[in-house]
Amino acid sequence: MRATLRQYSVRVDPHHRGRIVDRDAQAAGRERPRRSPLALPPEACQNQCGCSANSRKGEKSMLEANKALVRQYYQIVMGDLDGIEAIVAADFVDHHFPPDTPLGPAGVRKFFTEFAGSVFSDMRIAIDSLLAEGDKVDCHFVFHARHTGPFANIKPRGNPIRLPAISTFRIAGGKLAEAWEIFDSASLVQQMQAGSP
């Protein structure tokens, strides 16, 4: 006796209000969408899970406020740093900053004036996208600058720098509390050294 296996292509279709759709059978005209036992119609959601349209709107506005905070941070640090105290917590830590960097607004000022400001000029950040969930915001951006100061025994040649990066911020109490960065440091060094003999 031979067993016959059939591969199904199924998905929860938002256009069918949470129904499970067997796309192969539907295409052949053999099946109508079935409701998933896990999918609740919008009118039942308030009764069974306790959420409401107002709470969802409140969460959305909080996420938008968190993204606006990150935008404001980059505007401030790429400018004269005025107003940094209003958006950065007193114990803010950026895990990308050098180990001796103080916490809070003082650390942000030190990094962008004494470290980054001494290595790069014409700094600007172009934000590609912001993704927010819970108390975190991911910022995909490109750092643009000119290498005009010494860095790790690399002499400045005025080379242009273009460095894609991702920062993740944690927000607490309406302020930035913590940050992490991911970028290709090898690419940064190569761009700094470009044209070296």
**Of 12-16, 98-102, 184-188, which gets the smallest average pLDDT?**
12-16
pTM recorded for the entire structure? 0.69
pLDDT tens-place string over residues 1-51: 555 545 444 444 444 444 444 555 555 555 555 544 444 454 544 444 455
pLDDT band for 153, please (50, 70, 90 cuts): confident
Question: What sign does the dihedral 48-51-52-56 (CA atoms) show?
Answer: negative
pLDDT tens-place string over residues 51-93: 555 555 667 789 999 999 999 999 999 998 999 999 999 999 9
Kindly list the distances between the CA atom of residue 40 and the CA atoms of 13, 20, 49, 124, in Å, as whole numbers in the listed order. 13, 12, 9, 46
pLDDT tens-place string over residues 112-124: 998 888 999 999 9
Judged on CB neighbours under 10 Å (0-12, 13-18, 19+), 195 is: exposed
Domain ranges, ordered by start, for the chain? 60-193
Please give the CATH architecture assigned to the domain spanning 60-193: Roll (3.10)
